[in-house]
Amino acid sequence: MTENLAPTVRLAGSTEMPMVGFGTWQITGRQCYDAVRYALEAGYRHVDTATMYGNEAEVGRALRDSGVDRDEIFVTTKLPPRDAGRADATLSASLDALGLDAVDLWLVHWPPGGAGEDVWERFVAAREDGRARAIGVSNYSLEQVDRLTQATGVTPQVNQVSWAPSRYDAGVEAGHRERDVVLEGYSPFKNTDLSDPVLREVADTHGVPPAQVVLRWHVEHGVVVIPKSVTPERIRANLAVFGFSLSDDEVARIDRLARR
Ligand SMILES: NC(=O)c1ccc[n+]([C@@H]2O[C@H](COP(=O)([O-])OP(=O)(O)OC[C@H]3O[C@@H](n4cnc5c(N)ncnc54)[C@H](OP(=O)(O)O)[C@@H]3O)[C@@H](O)[C@H]2O)c1
């Protein structure tokens, strides 16, 4: 059941990242294992975890047991700010737990006080030695991204931030594009009122649920999105957003749901 693969976006100078990934925050143990297995069966080829989620071992076991080729799956993990002083050891622990030689993307989970220029040097080294195929940040402002670039000459390939129609910011979106930083949105549903009349109307036009409109809206903007679900039909539905598209007018109406 792998017909439902998401298209990819190219990371600066590096690998392809599927536009829709599977989020794993707040799921651990058997529930996490089962959800990731189901997601891979449904066609997801991108899984988002973090040291802080405490589920890397279950994610790794699900990846192995799935039978899907390692190189077909894009795996992200993140360094917690509390481990900024031991970045290399933390990456080693992530790789051990995941059972991988390298992650596809390693992110600084939050700015570790300031922009974390020292930590970023460790990230650059991890990419050079092949333990992280791509490197990026999360919850960074554009100004903090620029500080990393100025300090090291290396720009993060990705910034993973809270993103949803209610959080839409055209300036932030454009700023990432100008810097060739892929914007990856998290919590697409937690910050969305799925009963909003605009989302419902657009959803009715396309004969899909509002949740799919929200995810498709990310894709229309070129924003990678990583919905989490433990519910099989939602896991499937959240990937099935490539059989319809939104018009420019529909995208603009959803953009205007941003809370000012
Ligand atoms: N970098 C960071 O600091 C950061 C922060 C937060 C999240 N993240 C990442 O982003 C991922 C996604 O964000 P999130 O987990 O916060 O929240 P989310 O994906 O916005 O929302 C998850 C919630 O939405 C429900 N849901 C899923 N699909 C749905 C659908 N089709 N219709 C209606 N409800 C649906 C889920 O319910 P069920 O599970 O019960 O189906 C769950 O309650 C995380 O799992 C994590 O990987 C990163």
Sorting pLDDT into bands at 50, 70 and 90, what band is 221? very high
Q: Is 119's pLDDT higher than 80?
A: yes
Q: Tell me which of 260 and 113 has the higher pLDDT.
A: 113
118 phi/psi in degrees, rounded to 5: -65, -45
CB-based contacts of 198, cutoff 8 Å, min separation 6: 253, 254, 256, 257
Q: Is 4's pLDDT higher than 70?
A: no
Q: Is 28's pLDDT higher than 70?
A: yes
Sorting pLDDT into bands at 50, 70 and 90, what band is 83? very high
Domain that residue 53 falls in: 8-255
Q: Which of 33, 38, 44, 53 is catalytic?
A: 53
Give a yes or no: residue 41 inside a domain.
yes
The residue nearest atom 47 of ligand 1, judged by CA position, is 23
**Residue whose structure tokens are 């993990």:** 77
The two three-digit tokens of residue 175, written as one number? 């700023």
Q: Is 213's pLDDT higher than 60?
A: yes
Q: Is 44's pLDDT higher than 90?
A: yes
186 noted as active-site residue: no
105 C-alpha vs ligand 1 centroid, how far in Å? 19
Find the residues whose C-beta lies inside 6 A of ligand 1: 23-25, 48, 109, 138-139, 160, 186-190, 211, 226-231, 234, 237-238
Sorting pLDDT into bands at 50, 70 and 90, what band is 15? confident
Supply the pLDDT for residue 3: 54
Give a yes or no: residue 2 inside a domain.
no
Sorting pLDDT into bands at 50, 70 and 90, what band is 260? low
Give the chain's domain count: 1
Supply the pLDDT for residue 1: 42
Give a yes or no: residue 28 inside a domain.
yes
d(CA 126, CA 148): 16
Q: Is 30's pLDDT higher than 80?
A: yes
Q: What percent of the chain has pLDDT over 90?
A: 94
Give a yes or no: residue 3 inside a domain.
no
107 phi/psi in degrees, rounded to 5: -115, 145
Residue to mutate (ligand 1; options 26, 109, 228; most atoms within 8 A of CB): 228
d(CA 95, CA 209): 37
Classified as helix, coil or strand, 100 is coil
Q: What is the mean pLDDT of residues 241-251?
A: 98
Q: Is 175's pLDDT higher than 80?
A: yes
22 C-alpha vs ligand 1 centroid, how far in Å? 9
The CATH number assigned to the domain holding 109 equals: 3.20.20.100
Give a yes or no: residue 14 inside a domain.
yes
Give a yes or no: residue 174 inside a domain.
yes
234 C-alpha vs ligand 1 centroid, how far in Å? 11
Sorting pLDDT into bands at 50, 70 and 90, what band is 22? very high
Residue to mutate (ligand 1; options 22, 229, 235; most atoms within 8 A of CB): 229
Q: What is the mean pLDDT of residues 117-144?
A: 98
The sign one gets for the Cα dihedral 225, 15, 133, 31 is positive
Q: What is the mean pLDDT of residues 150-156?
A: 97
Give a yes or no: residue 97 inside a domain.
yes
Mean pLDDT of the chain: 96
Q: How many CB atoms lie within 10 A of CB 74?
A: 24
116 C-alpha vs ligand 1 centroid, how far in Å? 27
What is the DSSP secondary structure assignment for residue 20, as one 8-state letter? Answer: B
Q: Tell me which of 248 and 6 has the higher pLDDT.
A: 248
Give a yes or no: residue 93 inside a domain.
yes
Q: Tell me which of 3 and 160 has the higher pLDDT.
A: 160
Q: Tell me which of 102 and 13 has the higher pLDDT.
A: 102
Q: Is 94's pLDDT higher than 90?
A: yes
How far is the first Cα of the chain from the last one, in angstroms, to the nearest whole number? 42
The residue nearest atom 25 of ligand 1, judged by CA position, is 229
